[in-house]
Amino acid sequence: MAKEKKLVEEITSMDVDFAQWYTDIVLKAELVDYTSVKGCLVIRPAGYAIWENMKNEIDRRFKETGIENCYLPMFIPESLLQKEADHVEGFAPEVAWVTYGGMEKLDERLCVRPTSETLFCDYYSRVVKSYRDLPQLLNQWCSVVRWEKTTRPFLRSREFLWQEGHTVHATAKEAHDRTVQMLEVYADFFEKDLAIPVIRGIKTDKEKFAGAEATYTIEALMHDGKALQSGTSHYFGDGFAKAFNVTFTDKDNQIKPVFETSFGMTTRIIGAVIMVHGDNSGLKLPPHIAPVQVNIIPVAAHKEGVLDAANALYDRLKAAGIRVKLDDSEKSPGFKFAESEMRGIPLRIEIGPKDIENNQCVFVRRDTGEKSFVSLDNVESDAKECLENIQTNMYETALAHRDAHTYEARTMEEFKDIADNKPGFIKAMWCGDRACEDKIKEVAGATSRCMPEAQEQISDVCVCCGKKAKKMVYWGKAY
């Protein structure tokens, strides 16, 4: 039994060291491996399969709104990057540069894309001529490079996978509506498929994307009480269009700039799933995005009929459209149980000689650990129902945790006390002054996460300066 528990014992308790617990999980569950370049990781099959399922769900939603996929180059000429001043200034510290091609020094440095606004603008400036060419609704799935000083698997790496959508429109209203629409796409994906509740809102000017007029965000709360920016949708107005001369001839025969949006979500959402749902036994994957939804483990597999029954069960569940695995390896059942939990497989099904005699199997839920005996007659429908119950319960558990760790502060003293002693979201009023936002970060170590669309009047004055408040803001310490 000690050997069977070894996988779990090698995980640091999240209550002892949450950061080490997280690292243990991503390594022991074989999601990633390190490479010889800091911040650049191997995403192993178990990790990439999760990303593929996430990608499929997001991509399906995108296409339902009219988005088409494309691909643009990974290199950006320096002169192109320099065209939008705020944008280049915001990314300059993180840019990786290519200065040589083979043995020859390049005439102009090439930036390895940290994001692709400039490339899309350059493209749109050539293909958009008339109102008939609008809107353009494009997205690309790719990797980007940002030379981070501090790295952590999935959460912050120098190269990461993501999607970046870039759309252009004839009017400001169309562009703004698309910005909000894509944020709702992200929120729907997070809540329905990742079982993670989110706060929707708009970023302050300090926290908005470089070059954007407005940045909309979904913010999620991790198990340790830290916030994670989980998806952003940006309204650019016509700033990029004017910088890159992206214009069109309108119906009134006037030449006008387009209005642009951008939206992105990255592999850091794998980190969000780990930190919201995981426990000291390993991953807990929501059934909707779990690569393996059901793991069948034969008990006393050496006895006659057990493997045949397990294989028959596998075939039935697979035919029913369930992502199922049969673990018929020579490892002990106890080790298989621990490994199944470590990998976060939502439902484990055990079947042995006594179960076969009784025309049953054993369901073991990863979310609650609950065991139940289930008739083999209706195992397909029962498994599907159980998986949906797990999905719902995981969301409700995460929502209860977030609500229990969301606090209100009316004074700076109260704010600092919460920030120091009660990890979570802090709701507090703000006057809109950048100086107060900076002061809150300096004094309490918390940043503004977003100004939610559903505003609450916690008090009439700013939590920092005492002047008249303009907005209620979610604050928190963040990854």
Which is higher by pLDDT, 380 or 330?
380
pTM of the model: 0.94
Using one digit for the tens of pLDDT, what is the confidence trace for 202-241? 999 999 998 899 999 999 999 999 999 999 999 999 999 9
Q: How far apart are CA 272 and CA 25, in angstroms?
A: 13
Q: Is the predicted pLDDT of residue 64 greater than 80, yes or no?
A: yes
Using one digit for the tens of pLDDT, what is the confidence trace for 4-34? 555 556 799 999 999 999 999 999 999 999 9
| pLDDT at residue 180 in the model | 98
- For the domain spanning 294-389, the CATH number is 3.40.50.800
| pLDDT at residue 89 in the model | 75
> What mean pLDDT do residues 99-125 have?
95
| pLDDT at residue 44 in the model | 98
pLDDT band at 458 (very low <50, low <70, confident <90, very high): very high
Distances (CA, A) of 152 to 158, 185, 328, 384, 419: 9, 27, 35, 35, 23
Asked if residues 166 and 120 have their Cβ atoms less than 8 Å apart, the reply is yes
257-287 burial, b at 16+ Cβ within 10 Å, e below that, comes to bbbbbbbbbbbbbbbbbbbbbbbebbbbbbb
> What mean pLDDT do residues 367-391 have?
97
What percent of the chain lies above the pLDDT cut of 90? 92
Q: Is the predicted pLDDT of residue 364 greater than 60, yes or no?
A: yes
Using one digit for the tens of pLDDT, what is the confidence trace for 270-324? 999 999 999 999 999 999 999 999 999 999 988 999 999 999 999 999 999 999 9
468-472: long-range contacts (C-beta < 8 A, 24 or more apart)?
Answer: 468/431, 469/429, 469/430, 469/431, 470/430, 470/431, 470/432, 471/429, 471/430, 471/432, 472/427, 472/428, 472/429, 472/430
Q: How far apart are CA 298 and CA 306, in angstroms?
A: 7
* DSSP-assigned letters across all residues of 26-48: HHHTTSEEE-SSTT-EEE-HHHH
CATH architecture of structural domain 406-476: 2-Layer Sandwich (3.30)
Q: Is the predicted pLDDT of residue 91 greater than 80, yes or no?
A: no
* Residue ranges of the chain that CATH labels 3.30.110.30: 406-476
Q: How far apart are CA 336 and CA 405, in angstroms?
A: 35
Using one digit for the tens of pLDDT, what is the confidence trace for 401-452? 999 999 999 999 999 999 999 999 999 999 999 999 999 999 999 999 999 9
The SS3 of residue 400 is helix
| pLDDT at residue 338 in the model | 94
* Residue ranges of the chain that CATH labels 3.30.930.10: 18-277
pLDDT, mean over the chain:
95
Q: Strands 96-101, 68-69: parallel, antiparallel or unpaired by DSSP?
A: unpaired
Closest alpha carbon to 168 in 97, 246, 221: 246
Which is higher by pLDDT, 90 or 281?
281
> What mean pLDDT do residues 56-73 have?
98
Q: How far apart are CA 271 and CA 342, in angstroms?
A: 15
CB neighbour list of residue 378: distance below 8 Å, 6 or more residues apart: none
Quickly name the fold that domain 18-277 has. Answer: BirA Bifunctional Protein; domain 2 (3.30.930)
416 Cα distance to chain centroid? 29
| pLDDT at residue 471 in the model | 97
Asked if residues 240 and 84 have their Cβ atoms less than 8 Å apart, the reply is yes
Closest alpha carbon to 441 in 451, 430, 452: 430
Q: How far apart are CA 56 and CA 145, in angstroms?
A: 23
Q: How far apart are CA 89 and CA 238, in angstroms?
A: 19
Quick count: other Cβ atoms within 10 Å of Cβ 468? Answer: 11
Work out the angle at residue 449's Cα, subtended by the Cα atoms of residues 61 and 398, and round it to the nearest 5 degrees. 60
| pLDDT at residue 59 in the model | 98
Tokens 């929502």 correspond to 399
Q: Is the predicted pLDDT of residue 1 greater than 60, yes or no?
A: no
Q: How far apart are CA 272 and CA 230, in angstroms?
A: 8
* Residue ranges of the chain that CATH labels 3.40.50.800: 294-389
Q: How far apart are CA 169 and CA 181, in angstroms?
A: 14
Identify the bridge partners of residue 218 per DSSP, sorted by sequence position: 200, 231
Q: How far apart are CA 39 and CA 285, in angstroms?
A: 25
Q: How far apart are CA 25 and CA 113, in angstroms?
A: 30
| pLDDT at residue 8 in the model | 54
Q: Is the predicted pLDDT of residue 149 greater than 80, yes or no?
A: yes
